[in-house]
Amino acid sequence: MAGAGSARGGAYRVLARKYRPRSFDDLIGQEPMVRTLKNAFETGRIAQAYMLTGVRGVGKTTTARILARALNYELPGRVSAPTIDMPELGVHCAEIMEGRHVDVIEMDAASHTGVGDIREIIEAVRYRPVSARYKVYILDEVHMLSGAAFNALLKTLEEPPEHVKFVFATTEIRKVPITVLSRCQRFDLRRIEAATLIGLLGRVAEAEGIAIEPEALAMIARAGEGSARDSLSILDQAIAHGAGADDPLVRAEEVRAMLGLADRARVVDLFEAVMAGRTAEALALLKAQYDVGAEPAVVLQDLAAFTHFVTRLKIVPEAADDPAVPEEERRRGAAFAERLSLRVLSRAWQMLLKGIDEVQGASRPLAAADMVLVRIAHAADLPTPDEALRLLKEGAFRSAASASVPGGSAPGSAASEPPPAPRLSAVAAPMRAEIAAPAPVPSPQPAPQARQEPAIRFSRWEDLVAFVGTKRDVPLKISLERHARPMRLEQGLIEFEPVGDPPSGLASELARKLSDWTGERWTAVLGRGATSRTLDEAKAAQQEKNVADARSDPLVAAVLARFPGARIVDVRVHAADEVAAALPSPDATVDIVDEIEDATED
């Protein structure tokens, strides 16, 4: 075939250059631009400047050359005007497409950024083309020009001679001044769809005489990320890696190993294990893919991509028709979309995005990826914050707690006490329950009297704060005393209203530390409309009451009256027996006052 012969007979040309489009018919994925240019050429509405923008490898420079060819297309005796219909090579076509035509000047703006370079263009545009119809200036990466260079180009760009056309290409359209954009017709070249890239890669492989598995083509198209040049470069590498002289077949396993990708089927298995909360299985699957060469960050990226695919299937079922997705992924993805809720998928997506950044910056990527999977699996049975607040307001915890005890118990028995409130996972639909197989028949509930009570219970808010004090966590104890107005206290559940300037994350810190200290799962949520006071507020109010009571006592009133300006500084409350022993009898009250008066006279 042509590819093999060229490789042996002379200098090898990479596929991205060998199969570069030479006409608008060869361009793939840019149909809106082609239609606009065709209508403009047919009606004679040809602009003086064009701005082509898009990501790398979508064909900006190639389109600029094809545009220059269309402007100067000429077939003696048949075609003498600009046209985008170029079925055969014209007089100037070969030289233009090879970048060596004297009237089509290509300039790399990244290496010609100054005013002097633009001044050369301004001086040269006055002269007519040597042989072509138009003199075309192609400036690649035009956003690299300096501000002064852009300003120097403005006048010529707005009113160029009729024989001059400008074509600009850039990947950073936001860096181009608006004064330049307003003088150009702008075309945004789109990323090429995966299905279109698969077709292109298949045709190129066939032309090169190379057999390649369809799954390998899909891998290359996904790795190309919408870039034809990147996809062809990866295909070039895959052919060199996998297609030997004895076996000219490029297999998917070889492409996966070359790219360091994860096995897509194993990624789906990993997704299922994580969503079901099977942490040990998920870690084993990740380690297995790491052992065969898959990078942990790439595995998480593929896991995030599949999460996104399942989410799209749930919202847009037609997404299952994408030919770039293997049949196995479409089938299992549709099943996941039916069982998983949007909140579960969106939370997994957010945790994966954050985890990918952590893995990419970690000194031990595999360990970091393990911890990401552990977090996602651990969050399997947690509701979102808004759902937790809604459940709290609706009283779902109490109803769930009462429903969990079948038949109740006899009055007065030890088991008649109210059962502890269920954890959040008992109310919210857990992730692992959504993805697991149909639940088996539940086993009989144990008798109420056999249920074991938690080791530590708090009947009052003061008891909980005192318990925190016994753990010597002084900052947390002070924060609870000053900034928390209790609203609800049940086993496993705390609700309070923050006041003042509480520390950030007070509720989550309290829940985490209580869970560690007690061995039970605790949840702390914030609420509004508390009717109780903080402990500090209650203490201050009680102190004011004690002072008022002391001021109304006859003995204290007599002392305050005898000494003008005196005030009560502190009131200390002792036990009843201590008070009875310390205070004198009522008959001695007058004697005490007399003694005080005598002492002051002396």
Q: Partners of 495 in the beta sheet?
A: 488, 525
The pLDDT score that the predictor gives to residue 80 is 83
Instruction: Say yes or no: 71 and 157 in one domain.
Output: yes
The pLDDT score that the predictor gives to residue 90 is 87
The pLDDT score that the predictor gives to residue 371 is 94
Instruction: Say yes or no: 592 and 526 in one domain.
Output: no
Q: Taking the chain, what is the end-to-end CA distance rounded to the nearest angstrom?
A: 128
**Side chain identity at residue 358, one-letter code:** E
Distance between CA 50 and CA 176 in Å, rounded?
A: 13
Going by their DSSP bridges, the two strands 249-250 and 49-53 should be labelled as unpaired
For residues 511 and 489, is the Cβ–Cβ distance under 8 A?
no
Q: Partners of 351 in the beta sheet?
A: none
Distance between CA 498 and CA 501 in Å, rounded?
A: 8
Sign of CA dihedral 410, 412, 413, 419: positive
H/E stretch holding 137 reads: strand 135-140
The pLDDT score that the predictor gives to residue 99 is 84
150: in domain: yes
Instruction: Say yes or no: 78 and 151 in one domain.
Output: yes
Closest C-alpha to 231, from 55, 426, 75: 55
The pLDDT score that the predictor gives to residue 27 is 86
Instruction: Say yes or no: 57 and 174 in one domain.
Output: yes
Instruction: Say yes or no: 565 and 530 in one domain.
Output: no
The pLDDT score that the predictor gives to residue 164 is 94
**How much is the pTM?**
0.54
The pLDDT score that the predictor gives to residue 353 is 92
Distance between CA 170 and CA 109 in Å, rounded?
A: 10
The CA R_g of the chain, rounded to the nearest whole Å, is 39
Where residue 289 sits, what CATH number does that domain have? 1.20.272.10
428: in domain: no
The CA–CA distances, whole Å, from 374 to 72, 226, 275, 577 equal 62, 33, 11, 58
CA atoms in the 13 A half-sphere facing the CB of 94: 4
What's 85's DSSP letter? -
Instruction: Say yes or no: 500 and 578 in one domain.
Output: no
Sign of CA dihedral 333, 338, 342, 347: negative
How many Cβ atoms from other residues are within 10 Å of residue 411's Cβ?
Answer: 6
68: in domain: yes
**Side chain identity at residue 485, one-letter code:** R
Closest C-alpha to 178, from 160, 154, 156: 154
344: in domain: yes
How many Cβ atoms from other residues are within 10 Å of residue 377's Cβ?
Answer: 22
Where residue 479 sits, what CATH number does that domain have? 3.30.300
Q: Tokens 């509480």 identify what position?
A: 502
Distance between CA 404 and CA 51 in Å, rounded?
A: 68
Boundary-marking domain end, from 381, 416, 442:
381
Boundary-marking domain end, from 493, 509, 535:
535
Instruction: Say yes or no: 531 and 577 in one domain.
Output: no
Where residue 175 sits, what CATH number does that domain have? 3.40.50.300
With a cut of 70, list the residues of the chain below it in pLDDT. 1-10, 243-247, 260-263, 323-324, 380-388, 391, 393-455, 573-602
Instruction: Say yes or no: 483 and 525 in one domain.
Output: yes
Three-class DSSP labels, 9-68:
HCCCCCHHHHCCCCCCCCCCCCHHHHHHHHHHHHHCCCCCEEEEECCCCCCHHHHHHHHH
Strands (E), 232-386: 249-250
Instruction: Say yes or no: 472 and 595 in one domain.
Output: no
- Six-digit token string for 320: 């299952």
503: in domain: yes
Torsion, Cα 423 424 428 429, to 10 degrees, reads -60
Instruction: Say yes or no: 62 and 96 in one domain.
Output: yes
Distance between CA 574 and CA 475 in Å, rounded?
A: 28
Report how many domains make up the chain: 4
The pLDDT score that the predictor gives to residue 103 is 93
The pLDDT score that the predictor gives to residue 323 is 66
Distance between CA 25 and CA 62 in Å, rounded?
A: 13
429: in domain: no
141: in domain: yes
Boundary-marking domain end, from 352, 381, 410:
381
Distance between CA 582 and CA 519 in Å, rounded?
A: 46
Q: What are phi and psi of 43, to 5 degrees?
A: -95, 0
**Side chain identity at residue 493, one-letter code:** L
Distance between CA 287 and CA 296 in Å, rounded?
A: 9
Helix 194-207 to helix 228-242 angle (10° resolution) is: 50
The pLDDT score that the predictor gives to residue 386 is 66
H/E stretch holding 461 reads: helix 461-470
Instruction: Say yes or no: 175 and 135 in one domain.
Output: yes
4: in domain: no
For residues 483 and 502, is the Cβ–Cβ distance under 8 A?
yes
Going by their DSSP bridges, the two strands 185-188 and 211-212 should be labelled as unpaired
Instruction: Say yes or no: 341 and 466 in one domain.
Output: no
- Please, is 323 exposed, middle or buried when counting C-beta atoms within 10 Å of its C-beta (0-12, 13-18, 19+)? middle
Domain span at residue 366? 264-381
Distance between CA 522 and CA 397 in Å, rounded?
A: 13
How many Cβ atoms from other residues are within 10 Å of residue 599's Cβ?
Answer: 8
